[in-house]
Amino acid sequence: MKKIFAIIVCFVMTLTLAACGDTATENIEPADNPTPENTAEPAEDVPENPEETPAEGGKTLVVYYSATNNTEAVAGYIADATGADIFELIPTEPYTSADLDWTDRDSRVSREHDDESLRDVELESAVPDNWGDYDTVFIGYPIWWGIAAWPVNGFISANDFTGKTVIPFCTSSSSGLGQSGELLEEAAGTGNWLEGQRFRSGVSEDDVKDWVAGLEL
């Protein structure tokens, strides 16, 4: 009788240990392969301020204005490197080379420079399709007299940058980015604006791609 009792006790203990073993195995989380299901860590990117909630869609857009194609080339390099869509800002009345002659005090661009009220350049389109899908927006322009060429202003005022990361870039002969990005950020009033980057007019594709890689987007 004692033997039978001992056998039953052993059997019950074996079953209990086996059950514990299974439970322990289920609780082991692969440290090097965390997924939302197997980690209790809070998501890193949850912003405290709802105003900074990233836009949905996770897409990247490169917006640019370019009068003589230098900025356009850089915009293309960035789009290739990031797989972004491109949106060109085209003035309804494009600038001719005579318009762009800054050595002529009477040229269009000189008059606009001298009189800020003339800088309201109408664009063929200022609002990209599916704007809400983009959470990262590069905005490119040439430097004119140390600031962003003003045809970009209409794009800035026409759009809400809430929840978007905005990265200004420019091309110039010699001037730096200066305050151009900050002035656009101020005009926009919304968005998470990064410092941005100036490129020389004929910058190489490799140099632009190195910069993009450094952003770690």
Ligand X SMILES: Cc1cc2nc3c(=O)[nH]c(=O)nc-3n(C[C@H](O)[C@H](O)[C@H](O)COP(=O)(O)O)c2cc1C
Q: Which of 147, 194 has the CB closer to ligand X?
A: 147
| Residue 11: its H or E element | helix 2-27
What would the DSSP string read from start to end of 15-79? HHHHHHHHHHHHH---TTS--TTT--SPPTT--SSGGGPPPTT-EEEEEE--SSSHHHHHHHHHH
**Which CB atom, from 82 or from 107, has the smaller least distance to ligand X?**
107
**Subset of residues 126 to 145 that bind ligand X, contact rule: CB under 6 A:** 142-145
Please report whether residue 96 would count as binding ligand X according to CB under 6 A: no
Least CB distance from residue 56 to ligand X, whole Å? Answer: 31
Query: Please, which residue, 99 or 185, has the CB nearer to ligand X?
Result: 99
Query: How big is the site for ligand X, counted in residues (CB under 6 A)?
Result: 21
Query: Are 70 and 171 a contacting pair, CB within 8 Å?
Result: yes
Residues in contact with ligand X by the rule CB under 6 A = 66-72, 100, 102, 109, 142-146, 171-175, 201
